[in-house]
Structure 1
């Protein structure tokens, strides 16, 4: 395993402990101890996952989260904070965070969450021309979807939405973000279009009925 992780945390003792546990799992670990250093590393290096403290000196975690998620091949981001208010969690997910942990941290839980995120990233590689998930088979090049070995007819946008969510598992997307990514920035419809297509995917595919979750007040995510 050579996946690379960046820990952005100003508490050096905590940062070092996280590093010890993650290195034992075989990860390559890099460190940043303030917002400026974290931003520089995010800009200059490629990481598979970032563990990001929200309350940082010089630049806060929200700014770094935006920076990380603006990259073309954006890494997964697990936010850590001493604050666990619902507003903070929702705000983090709206900015693109993949997970959220409240301090004090359990190292065993942190390692488990990191492992799950890395496995999801590998499974969702967009370079795959053939994707198998449970009873679902997606042939990307021919744009064909099979359920239990039977072809399921999807409209072009239903297929595009399904593929986008498969390639970005466990991430919460607002409806307008999905409109931008799947329909295009110049699409003149409204967010109810997303709701309609999600409903159709759930009706047609058992996989989506079970895995395509509504995050109330935010949007949707494909829960793997």
Structure 2
């Protein structure tokens, strides 16, 4: 296996799977490909990849169902969805089930590699010197990749963690959706600002009683404020 780790690709269109394998391999990743949803889920559980690239429309089990089952089992491996469907509902469902990012076909394989790199940077944690951030009952420790509310730990995806961390980095500062896309996802508004809205909603749902710390500023974006 490559030092960069193993990427699991579950894609039933073999030419696309082969192209994705080629570009990820060139970038130094180990790659395992499955063409069936059930086989992909088994491989994810068996091989423990560093990232899963999941087509949504798959034989036997959709990519969203693979993600749902992994999350239910406490597996928070970063997930990038691929979809040929020009349907926002599919993309939003994937994010709500714990996906971190998505690409709509046809896509650039170079862009997919860039998204995988960005996800792994987020999952690896911050650089040295990032301080613990506290707002009301909420504490975020970048070094330990740990979030607690009144001492109780929360489980967040890498993207959810970094989104919350960015908001907590400057309490009271209002960030536009475009600013959050650039800072957290590493690219501008190409993915659509709805991605930000879905992840904010997911973070709020997990914060429970502390959800009110993340406020919507209508017509602008979001802020973290006590």
Structure 1 residue aligned with 2:207: 178
Deviations 1:120-170 (A, max 9, x none): 11126xxxxx9644xxx12xxxxxx4xxxxxxx644x22159843897442
Out of 27, 44, 50, the residue aligned to residue 25 of structure 1 is: 27
Answer yes or no: is the 8 Å Cα contact 2:5–2:50 preserved in 1.
Answer: yes
| Larger radius of gyration between Structure 1 and Structure 2 | 1
Give distance in 2, aligned partners of 1:132 and 1:68: 32
Q: Provide the aligned length of Structure 1 versus Structure 2.
A: 169
Q: Which secondary structure does the structure 1 equivalent of 2:99 belong to?
A: coil
Equivalent position of 1:159 in the other structure: 139
Q: Which runs of 5+ in 1 are unaligned?
A: 125-129, 139-144, 146-152, 180-188, 203-212, 215-219
Alignment of 1:101-180 (within 5 A): 101-123=103-125, 132-133=129-130, 137-138=131-132, 145=133, 154-155=135-136, 157-159=137-139, 163-164=146-147, 168-171=157-160, 172=199, 173-179=202-208
- For 1:69, the equivalent position in structure 2 comes to 71
Question: Cα offset for 1:174?
Answer: 4.6
Tell me the distance in 1 between the aligned counterparts of 2:91 and 2:103: 9
Q: TM-score, normalised by structure 1?
A: 0.66
Can you give the 5+ residue segments of structure 2 that lack an aligned partner in the other structure? 148-153, 161-198
> Considering only aligned residues, what root-mean-square deviation do their CA atoms show, in Å?
3.0
Q: 1:85 aligns with which of 81, 84, 87?
A: 87
Q: Is residue 53–residue 80 contact of structure 1 (8 Å, CA) maintained in 2?
A: yes
How far did residue 71 of structure 1 move?
3.7
